[in-house]
Structure 1
Amino acid sequence: MKLLPTQSKRILLTLFWLWTLGIWIGSLMPMSGPSIENGDKIQHFIGYGVLALLAQLIWHQPRKIWLGATLMGVAVEFAQALTPYRSFDTHDMLANSIGAVFGLLLACAWLKRQ
């Protein structure tokens, strides 16, 4: 496993924190417009997949990253339950967790090839 140069790591860290912030903001804002059936599950899968992929490229700790992403997904769902326009959904948590696994697998495969 190759360590990233400092400049690349800074860029990835910036992307990781911006992506994390984007997940929180997007998850707590009112939903807008019509959506496709279960389209939000795809968004959850992709959102947490990218989150885990970025984290793995930075920290190389898949178990901790998966746990952190999964716990963040649970926290987001509880926060949504506190808003008048969003709701708590265990299926969203599952999509988050599966997306994180997929992102970790992609990152691990990519790192292995380097």
Structure 2
Amino acid sequence: MDSTMVISNRMALLIGWMMVVTVFLLSLLPLSSPVGIVQGGDKLGHLLAYFGMTYWFLHLSMYPWRVLVLFLLMGAAIEVLQSLTDYRYFEWADLLANGIGVLVAYVVFVWAKLQLKFISIKSPGGNDLGT
């Protein structure tokens, strides 16, 4: 029996949208205590959250550049929305961390696709290295 877990596109989209909703909620709801245990640790959280969401949706989309633009805009929109509350505020460093997470996810995604193409190139003997 194959132990590889395969999830449907519908389930993958549901998981992705749950990540997006979670980021919106964590970004816009008031926090009862400081999040960062390590100074600047929240920036790492921003980077990892946006990396994860972007990388996830890049695998589900036929138009990777749209995913890139969507999450860059989402990061900016959340920062603007935070500035409209009296308990959160706009922070350029958060916006930068969000953007870096998105861009790193895109670079890793493109790199991984190139690696898969390279692996699938036929060897000189005619055998497909990818199988």
Match in the other structure for 1:99: 101
Match in the other structure for 1:90: 92
CA contact (8 A) 1:77 1:87 kept: yes
Deviation of 1:99 (Å): 0.2
Alpha carbons of structure 1 residues 97 and 44: separation in structure 2 relative to 1, 3 Å: same
- Unpaired runs of 5+ residues, structure 2, are 1-6, 118-131
- Unpaired runs of 5+ residues, structure 1, are 1-6
CA contact (8 A) 1:57 1:111 kept: no
Match in the other structure for 1:53: 55
Match in the other structure for 1:14: 14
Match in the other structure for 1:23: 23
Task: Tell me which moved more, 90-99 or 25-34.
Answer: 25-34
Deviation of 1:106 (Å): 3.0
User: RMSD between aligned alpha carbons?
Assistant: 2.0
Alpha carbons of structure 1 residues 87 and 13: separation in structure 2 relative to 1, 3 Å: same
Computing the radius of gyration over CA atoms, which structure comes out larger, 1 or 2? Answer: 2
Q: TM-score normalized by structure 1?
A: 0.83
Match in the other structure for 2:75: 73
**Between Structure 1 and Structure 2, how many residues are aligned?**
109
Match in the other structure for 2:44: 42
For the residue of structure 2 that corresponds to 1:86, the secondary structure is coil
